[in-house]
Amino acid sequence: MAETFKHLAQDNMVHTGVASAQELYEAPAGTTTIIGHIRLANNSSGSRTARLTHGGIRGSGDTGKEFVILPDLTIESGGWAEFTGSIILDAGDKLYGLASDDSVSISYNIYGLEVT
């Protein structure tokens, strides 16, 4: 069994509408991932809202499967929000993000451990 600490993902959250959140990370086949830290940063000149979930986004056909990690939270201009803890993703499980608006205003970084 190999354990690899990694910078799992980074990009900008894209606002695609309430019913279609962006997939931020998917645990690879044959891998269990333990996410230990997520950082969201607001790069815009105004406040923005973001949400992180595991399992789906309410309103997208995944109703009842959504497990909220960070609820809708407002991040001020130049500010950030962080999650530190443990989120276990089995192979194929996904972490989703939803930004309020402005297609590239919130950047994200996800760090954790992949176990194969």
Instruction: List, for residues 4-26, the tens digit of each pLDDT value.
Output: 999 999 999 877 665 567 889 99
Query: pLDDT above 90 covers what percent of the chain?
Result: 54
- Asked if residues 66 and 57 have their Cβ atoms less than 8 Å apart, the reply is yes
Q: Could you give the CA distance from residue 24 to residue 112 in angstroms, rounded to a whole number? A: 13
At the topology level of CATH, where does 3-115 sit?
Jelly Rolls (2.60.120)
- Answer with the residue of higher pLDDT: 90 or 67: 90
Output the six-digit token pair for 45: 């000149």
pLDDT tier at 66 (50, 70, 90 boundaries)? confident
Domain ranges in the chain are: 3-115
Q: Edge-to-edge, what's the strand order for the sheet holding 22-26?
A: 22-26, 94-99, 48-54, 67-75
Q: Could you give the CA distance from residue 84 to residue 91 in angstroms, rounded to a whole number? A: 21
Number of Cβ within a 10 Å radius of residue 46? 10
* Across 32-53, average pLDDT: 93
Whether the per-residue pLDDT at 63 is higher than 60: the answer is no
